[in-house]
Amino acid sequence: MERINMIITLLLFLCFQEISAQEKKWTLEDCINYAVTNNIGLQRQRLQTQSAEINLTKAKMDLLPSLNFGSDARVGFGRSIDPVTNLITFKQNLSNSYSINSNIQLFNGFATLNTIAANKFMLNAGLEAEKITKNTLIVDIMGQYYQVLYSKGLENASKMQLDLSEKQLFRILKMVETGKEALSRQYEIESQVSADKLAYTIAQNSASQALTTLKQMLQLEPGSEFDILMPDLNNMLITDSNFSTDSVYNIASQTLPRLKAIEFELNASKKQVAAARGNLAPSLSVGGAVFTGYYKVINEGAADQASFSSQLKNNNSQAVFLSLNIPIFNNYSTGKNIKLARIRRDDTALRLELEKNNLYTEIENACLNFNRGKDEFAAAGANFEYNKKSFSAVEKKFESGLIDVTDYSAAKTTLFKAETEALRTKLQLLIRKLTIQFYSTGEYENIINN
């Protein structure tokens, strides 16, 4: 009996967990955190950063000496040299040699050091590129999230319009039954209800499509339930902020990774030019090697020879060498690499200037749109409040029979347009403000909570 109770409790717990998971509503912060953790494009960019780390490690390892071990085995037939007597022999023989050698570069025109510095800058550029990918993803999700809010707002407004029409239809039906209203008036209201149902259905489909687009951007698993937590749009306050283009740009140019990444690439390209020019200088390296080997005549009747271990010990030899390489002509290979490195450097410098101009233009347009949007939002809000009062008066006249369905429908349509325009300008102003704040900070955590 106790085991059965435990099983029932476990099943109830699992069912509760499943229901809770299905009922979860996603906030903007939930969407951004999930995307930053699971987005495939961002994960691929992180792999690029890891590749840059490997390149830097390899460049540092080039400063260390190399160490190699080699061995070979050979069976000789016919004319060969006896390594024991250094005499020519025609006997069949077996030889086995071993070698260990090491080499270190002493000087190569500072090419290795400049390559290390270039790879450090490229690693930093990769880290900034990762931030760029993350920021682009966040901005896209914020825009789509507010598009979902707008679509759901339209859906709610359409539902309110439908409710108003159905309310009037119910009233007219009662009046037609008692003979107080003509049947034609009922048909007019039914036509209006039908039109409002169509508008509501379209608004539902638009909201569903916007929600599906957001779900696809988050790259959720197919078949998973998804919906957002609708905030109270009436309590979303719009502060009277003013943004200056120059002040925002000065902060953004020092904060945003999109400029930092190109600056790191420019520094890397300068070091790459220096590394390429280093190949024009003489290179100097030093090294050493240890050799040993084993030799045995394998023809029948051959004399006894020293053992394998004894020969490895007795045939041991060492060598130390110093190598100097002075480049004189290498088929224009070095000259080509230097010129290509200079072209990349100059192109990166121009790309940095172009990105600065683009960033300033984007910030200027964002500030202008926000300042203009404040006036639009204020006008749309006042227009909505006026139309609510106007529609209330028209509704009373319609219920009193002072106006016909056409005037009532026109007033209701005007109210709907005013409501949706107030919603559009409010959400548009919010997303514009978030965008400017994002330019100023480059971080989303403090923005979405404000």
In tens, the pLDDT along 172-189 reads 888 888 887 778 888 888
Binned at pLDDT 50, 70 and 90, residue 432 comes out as confident
Work out the percent of the chain whose per-residue pLDDT is above 90: 53
C-alpha Rg value of the chain to the nearest Å:
40
Question: CA torsion, points 322, 283, 109, 117, in degrees to nearest 10?
Answer: -80
Which whole number is the average pLDDT over 417-430? Answer: 90
Whole-angstrom distance, CA of residue 132 vs CA of residue 359: 13
Binned at pLDDT 50, 70 and 90, residue 19 comes out as very low
Q: Which architecture does CATH list for 30-38+108-141+225-281+327-448?
A: Up-down Bundle (1.20)
Binned at pLDDT 50, 70 and 90, residue 24 comes out as confident
Q: Is the pLDDT of residue 437 over 90?
A: no
Q: What is the value of pTM for the model shown?
A: 0.81
Residues facing 226 on adjacent strands? none
Q: At 320, which helix (H) or strand (E)?
A: strand 317-325
Which whole number is the average pLDDT over 410-428? Answer: 90
pLDDT tens readout for residues 185-219: 888 888 989 999 999 999 999 999 999 999 999 99
Give residue 360's pLDDT.
95
For tokens 């025609």, the residue is 90
Query: Strands of 66-76's sheet, edge to edge?
Result: 66-76, 93-107, 283-297, 317-325
Whole-angstrom distance, CA of residue 108 vs CA of residue 75: 41
Residue 299, SS3 per DSSP? coil
Residues belonging to the chain? 450
Strand 283-297 and strand 317-325: the pairing is antiparallel
Cβ neighbours, 10 Å, residue 310: 11
Q: Is the pLDDT of residue 373 over 80?
A: yes
Whole-angstrom distance, CA of residue 44 vs CA of residue 328: 43
Question: Which is more confident, 94 or 7?
Answer: 94
Give residue 380's pLDDT.
92
- CB 249 within 8 Å of CB 61: no
Binned at pLDDT 50, 70 and 90, residue 441 comes out as confident
CA 170-176-180 angle, 5° bins: 115
Give residue 13's pLDDT.
46
CA dist 241 to 153, 177, 382, 430, 440, Å? 25, 57, 19, 11, 14
Closest CA to 293 of 93, 101, 72: 72
* Burial of 157 (C-beta count, 10 Å sphere; 0-12/13-18/19+): buried
Q: At 103, which helix (H) or strand (E)?
A: strand 93-107
Which whole number is the average pLDDT over 253-270? Answer: 94
Give residue 445's pLDDT.
60
* Burial of 439 (C-beta count, 10 Å sphere; 0-12/13-18/19+): buried
CA dist 423 to 27, 285, 430, Å? 19, 73, 11
Whole-angstrom distance, CA of residue 336 vs CA of residue 339: 5
pLDDT tens readout for residues 301-348: 556 778 888 888 888 899 999 999 999 988 899 999 999 999 999 999
- CB 289 within 8 Å of CB 100: yes
- The residue ranges of every structural domain in the chain are 30-38+108-141+225-281+327-448
